Structure 1
Amino acid sequence: MGISEMTETSAPQGAKPAERPPYRLYVLLLLLLLNSLSYADRHLFSILIPAIKAEFGISDSLLGLIGGPGFIVSYVLCSMPFACLADRWSRRGVLALAATLWSAATAACGAAGNAVQLALARFVVGIGEAGGLPPSQSVLASLYGEDRRSAAMGVLASGTYFGLILGLLGGAAIAAQWGWRAAFLILALPGFPLALLIWFTGPRRRPHELRPGTGRDGPGFWTSVRMFWNIKSLRLVALGVGTFNIFGYAGAVWMPAYFMRSHGMSVVEAGAWLGVGSAIGGITGSIASGAMVDRLRRRGEHWQLRLPAIAFLLSFPQNIFMFTMPGGAGIALGGLHIPGVALMTVLGGFLAACWAGPSFSAAARLVAPSQRAQATAMLVVIINIIGSMIGPSLSGFVSDLLTARLGGESLRVSLLIMSLLTVAGGLLFWRASVHYPRDLGARDTI
């Protein structure tokens, strides 16, 4: 009898997640590995931009389109369909299918013979990764109660930063040794065995999670979208993160190039400092914010979203230091020169990571269990339409526009200007925290 079968048949119907702590931990770690790999494949492109540009001879603007809209269009278009499939069919099935697809497409990036083929492969990577996060969040929401859910989702959110260090540092090391194509091919390989693991050992939906009028016979796609959009705090969270991530996704694509152009780092140095700094800050911020929110909301439900709002507002002064720091500035520690931008990356990663666990946990509390994957997908779609589709290409465009006047410093100024949007994201989150307790009360009266 497999683990997933044991979960369904051995436990009493409606058994609480706390009765299966070893299996809960196993699933959390498996989903963490899967999502870390997904983000590694996503961030790998940014560290390979110089090598790809050198081989294919294409501009920053075109690379920004491939790294931004070229990936995000398919990701956005497929997120809600995959989420509907997960809510109505099988969450583990969608996860296994998605991991197989994005791994195969990542390998295809390494085999691309020109920019068009690379763009097509990135488009398919986006399709596969669209099926990763929403089912994962739904699975965790069903396994963890409200008292620990934000912490569990914070751990899952840390996969973004484990993936960042794997994609940037691992990708840079592989590319330096064997070339950029090998980096795509090698990081694609682990996705296939992980897909098999989630299929054979992942949890099946428990009967009590499908209520009458939900699941296969539940509301249609657009009805669900309207339902989620009408929840004001959920809408404001999506708009807030999306606005913040116009800058955030621009940084994800262009920060390695900024480290190389303005601070004289090699591709390996940029990948190491950016990957390690962002990972330390991001992992700490993801896990700490979820745990803190689980405690703070006992004093008031508004803290579920107030904490991320404060973190976003603090990001702006941090970014001023990041993008006005002279090239080469840093501190000496035991004979090692630590660049100042690397230290700022730790703080920036911490602040930028504080939204995910609390926000996805809030979404899970505001909707029915059978609609959690779709609610997560709606957040992801709005965030990416606003953030990912605009940020990388706009930053590349502004950088190209300023090149004649500023030369190699054009990217620094482009990113500094766009960091103003972190303030707007924080203010939207603050408004969401005001409405969140009322939306919870309205849910409880239904």
Structure 2
Amino acid sequence: MRRWPGHGEPPLDLDVSGSVAHLVSRRYAWGVALMVVALAVTDYIDRQIVVSTFPYLKKEWGLSDTALGALVTTVSVTIAVFALPAARLADRWGRVKTIAAMGSAWSLAALACAVSGNYAQLFAARSLLGVGEAGYGPAGAALLSGYFPQRLRATVLSVFQAAGPLGAVLGVLFGGVMAGQFGWRVTLGAFGVPGLLLALVFLKVRDYRTPAASGGTADSGAGEGLTGDRAPSGQQDLAATVRELFRSRTAVWCYLGGALNLVVLSTLYTWLPSYLGRAYGLSSAQAGVKAALFILAGFVGAIVFGHLADRCAVRRPRRRLMVPAVLAAGAWGLLFTAFGVLGPGAGQYALIVIAGLPVAAALGIAPAAVIDVVHPSVRATAVGMAALVQNLFGLAVGPVLTGLLSDAFGLGPALAVMPLFCLAAAAAFRLGSRSYEKDLAAVSGGVPEAALPGTHERELSA
């Protein structure tokens, strides 16, 4: 086991595969991954816990349902608006410092929610929550991608992305209990303190250098451009970054496929409790518990199928994207059968829960593939671009479009139609798989990972 250099020493250098895994022990790498996931869980708890306080906010301030819904919508909107600038900051300023700053920002915003004196203040605090969360996902994904070899990237990032459904479940469950016991203010601020402490602990984690895309020697690790030793400024730097983000066909198809998949996932996260309440005659608490099982299935599916994608890619890399393509098509079949063929009952509910496994499979695989095919100097920015596309064209579309269809035809038929987006996602991932190996070779210089120095020393799989 190698000694991890102390905090304050020069940043680590990436090898040809874009990994520093050969410089760290397995225990340290997975320890950092656990920290990233733990902080991400507090992120999603803070994002979702407000839903449980709706009845109390409505009673105290006389809010409409539209005003309450806006407290959720504003988080997705601010994430979409700030994802790319915050991700670019992570690539230029450093991933560790960005994680600490963003985690502190959303944790302080959560505490601000707890002391809000009126709706406008609460809305502003919720908006700031989204600003902090906008930069964390890209920075965390970029950091983990450097700690682990490429062959494990989908597994690790799937564990990271699975923090989303896990945090959503915990937010709903904890919020429901705490709001009744302690009131909405304590509930909204409860996870701000642990989030802030975790964010500050990240300042002890060591970052790696951001390399130049071609030629030159990286220096401090945060300012290099894409064309040489010295980062160009202004429009040249922006143009070079944009070219790199869209140079790879694989990355573009993954941006699109991830967004299309999230249309369905966000639809079910939002409307499944309502459907279970209306169709099965359940109370809101009972419907929430049953919907939580679907979300938990997604948590398991994201991790299991992310690892499966890595295993399938050992002999043929393009299979990494064929896994979410096949699973997305399977999710459509399960959901269409559940909502379009079967009626309310045990069989329908069983298919819905089972569908939670494949419908969340792409959560980690899509960003992992994007990171694989872009230069290490823009990894966080690429994940930020994915977050922008996914929030604007995925998370923001599903709930609203389903509501429109429900008003016209009923909620059941709407939920039977919306899984068609899974088929579109499957097609996008299939097209991305066709260019994946070529784009991967272009980034790695055509050097197989097995031939890289230190490969035998950096086997980090559990």
TM-score (norm 2): 0.82
Query: What displacement does 1:139 show?
Result: 0.8
Q: Is 2:375 aligned against 1:372?
A: no
The equivalent of 1:353 in structure 2 is: 360
- Does the 8 Å CA contact 1:67/1:253 hold for their aligned counterparts? no
Counterparts of 1:401-412 in structure 2 under 5 Å? 401-402=407-408, 410-412=410-412
Query: What displacement does 1:75 show?
Result: 0.6
Structure 2 gaps, min length 5:
227-236, 447-462
- Does the 8 Å CA contact 2:248/2:374 hold for their aligned counterparts? no
- Does the 8 Å CA contact 2:83/2:388 hold for their aligned counterparts? yes
Counterparts of 1:238-257 in structure 2 under 5 Å? 238-257=255-274
The equivalent of 2:434 in structure 1 is: 434
Query: What displacement does 1:353 show?
Result: 2.1
Query: What displacement does 1:163 show?
Result: 0.7
Deviates more, 1:5-14 or 1:382-391: 5-14
Find the aligned partners of 2:162 and 2:193 in 1 and give their Cα distance: 21
Relative to structure 1, the CA distance from residue 445 to residue 30 in structure 2 (aligned partners, 3 Å threshold; closer, same or farther) is closer
Find the aligned partners of 2:62 and 2:159 in 1 and give their Cα distance: 40
Q: Is 2:332 aligned against 1:316?
A: yes
- 1:203 corresponds, among 201, 206, 209, to 206
Counterparts of 1:31-430 in structure 2 under 5 Å? 31-49=36-54, 52=57, 60=65, 63-68=68-73, 70-112=74-116, 114-199=118-203, 201-206=204-209, 212=216, 215-219=222-226, 220-279=237-296, 281-323=297-339, 326-327=343-344, 329-330=345-346, 341=349, 343-399=350-406, 401-402=407-408, 410-430=410-430
Query: What displacement does 1:295 show?
Result: 1.6
Find the aligned partners of 2:157 and 2:403 in 1 and give their Cα distance: 33
**What SS does the corresponding residue of 1:299 show, helix, strand or coil?**
coil
Q: Deviations over 1:249-299 (max 9, x none)?
A: 2332333333333333333333333224422x2232122122212221123
Amino acid at match of 2:300: T
The equivalent of 1:17 in structure 2 is: 21
**What SS does the corresponding residue of 2:164 show, helix, strand or coil?**
helix
**What SS does the corresponding residue of 2:358 show, helix, strand or coil?**
helix
Relative to structure 1, the CA distance from residue 46 to residue 317 in structure 2 (aligned partners, 3 Å threshold; closer, same or farther) is farther
Deviates more, 1:140-149 or 1:51-60: 51-60
Find the aligned partners of 2:56 and 2:413 in 1 and give their Cα distance: 23
**What SS does the corresponding residue of 2:150 show, helix, strand or coil?**
coil
Query: What displacement does 1:417 show?
Result: 2.9
Amino acid at match of 1:369: P
Q: Deviations over 1:143-200 (max 9, x none)?
A: 101222222112212211221221122222223433444321223332111111112x
Query: What displacement does 1:369 show?
Result: 1.8
- Does the 8 Å CA contact 1:150/1:361 hold for their aligned counterparts? yes
**What SS does the corresponding residue of 2:395 show, helix, strand or coil?**
coil
The equivalent of 2:232 in structure 1 is: none
Find the aligned partners of 1:166 and 1:183 in 2 and give their Cα distance: 12
Deviates more, 1:109-118 or 1:374-383: 109-118
The equivalent of 1:334 in structure 2 is: none
- Does the 8 Å CA contact 2:210/2:376 hold for their aligned counterparts? no
Relative to structure 1, the CA distance from residue 41 to residue 396 in structure 2 (aligned partners, 3 Å threshold; closer, same or farther) is farther
Find the aligned partners of 1:306 and 1:158 in 2 and give their Cα distance: 20
Deviates more, 1:269-278 or 1:416-425: 269-278
Amino acid at match of 1:205: Y
**What SS does the corresponding residue of 1:216 show, helix, strand or coil?**
coil
State the identity %: 27
The equivalent of 2:231 in structure 1 is: none
Find the aligned partners of 1:321 and 1:287 in 2 and give their Cα distance: 25
- Does the 8 Å CA contact 2:151/2:314 hold for their aligned counterparts? no
**What SS does the corresponding residue of 1:204 show, helix, strand or coil?**
coil
Query: What displacement does 1:114 show?
Result: 5.0
Amino acid at match of 2:329: L
Structure 1 gaps, min length 5:
332-339
Find the aligned partners of 2:67 and 2:179 in 1 and give their Cα distance: 21
Query: What displacement does 1:213 show?
Result: 7.7
Q: How many residues align?
A: 424
